[in-house]
Amino acid sequence: MGTLQDVFMAVQEKTPESLGPNAWYIATAAALVSLGKAEEIGALSVHLTSSVSSEHKSSREQVSKRLRDVLMKEWTLVGIPLVVTAVASLAQAEEDLELDGHLSEKWRNPMHPQEVSQRGTTFMQTLYAQNLTSLFSTWGSHREDFEYLEKNIIYGLYLSDHGVLSPIEAEVVILTAIMCQGLKAPTIWHLRGLRRLGISAEDVEALYVHFGAFPSTSVLSPEFQVMFPDQIENYVAEC
């Protein structure tokens, strides 16, 4: 069994470059929380900042803000108890970094609710495309309440906020968090979502296969299993 450091380096090496230079640790953070290893977020932070000189405070702040944004998004996907556990671990790891602890600008001066709703709706339409209406229709008599929740809160306030993480990075958080819970249908939706954001079928498949395989052979989650290895090519080919 490898150490967490071994896992971090393996993920960094194998994460497709098209997802961006920060995607490997964004996906790793999302996976740790989703797999019930939220207390290891601090170790990831230490790994990321240990090689950064104390004079490069801005670089450390960027890592911190990115991990915070992963967690702000991920609570909508896995629940708040796991996320606040991760927040405490992250804060402990950052005790000596002298980071800004003020309320973020986006909360001090929030967007108008209609703008939030439109932003959420637009991102959902990008990810789900022609499948969005049919997805909503599966909710029956609960549709109106949950469609409002998705457009105005889940996506509107959180998942479509791309002030820190890019749309692709946000979708990496969404896909990884869902995939690591073993949820087949939502995983398929978000495999397609990455494709609709312009990521190639090969790179989406690589992300899926890597995060489907590495937890089963590492310290993260021995019981995690790949959901549908024989069908993955078909799913990532569909947009």
Closest CA to 234 of 209, 205, 214, 210: 205
Classify residue 37: in a domain, yes or no.
Answer: yes
CATH code for the domain of 232 = 1.20.1290.10
Domain, as residue range, for 34: 4-101+111-237
Q: Which residues of the chain register pLDDT less than 70?
A: 1, 52-57, 212-239
Tokens 């801005």 correspond to what residue? Answer: 58
Q: Quickly count: other Cβ atoms within 10 Å of residue 185's Cβ.
A: 9
**CA gyration radius, the chain:** 18
Cβ-proximal residues to 125 (8 Å cutoff; 6+ apart), any chain: 132
Give the pLDDT confidence score for residue 235 in this predicted structure. Answer: 64
Q: Is residue 158 part of a domain?
A: yes
pLDDT digits (tens, 9 = 90+) for 138-191: 999 999 999 999 999 999 999 999 999 999 999 999 999 998 888 888 999 999
Q: What is the mean pLDDT of the chain?
A: 88
| Residue 17 within any structural domain of the chain | yes
DSSP state of 183: -
Give a yes or no: residue 106 inside a domain. no
Distance from first CA to last CA of the chain, Å, rounded? 37
- pLDDT score, position 215: 45
User: In the prediction, which pLDDT does 217 show?
Assistant: 38
Q: Which two tokens stand for residue 201?
A: 């079928």
What is the C-alpha separation between 160 and 76, in angstroms, rounded?
12
Pairwise CA distance, residues 113 & 30, whole Å: 28
Q: What's the pLDDT score for residue 224?
A: 45
Q: What per-residue confidence (pLDDT) applies to 6? A: 87
Backbone angles phi, psi at 197, to 5 degrees: -90, 5
- The verdict on residue 74 lying in a domain is yes
Domain count for the chain: 1
Residues in Cβ contact with 35 at an 8 Å cutoff, skipping those fewer than 6 apart: 180, 215, 220, 221, 224
Classified as helix, coil or strand, 91 is helix
Say what the pTM is.
0.89
The pLDDT value recorded for residue 134 is: 95
- Quick check: is 175 in a domain? yes
* Residue the block writes with tokens 């990810």: 127
- What pLDDT is stored for residue 230 in this prediction? 55
Give the single-character DSSP code of 103: P
Is 83 among the domain residues? Answer: yes
Burial (0-12, 13-18, 19+ Cβ within 10 Å), 108: exposed
Contacts of 34 (CB under 8 A, 6+ apart): 74, 77, 78, 82, 176, 177, 178, 179, 180, 181
Determine the residue type at 232: I
Contact 113, 157 (CB under 8 A): no
Is the residue at 82 inside a domain? yes
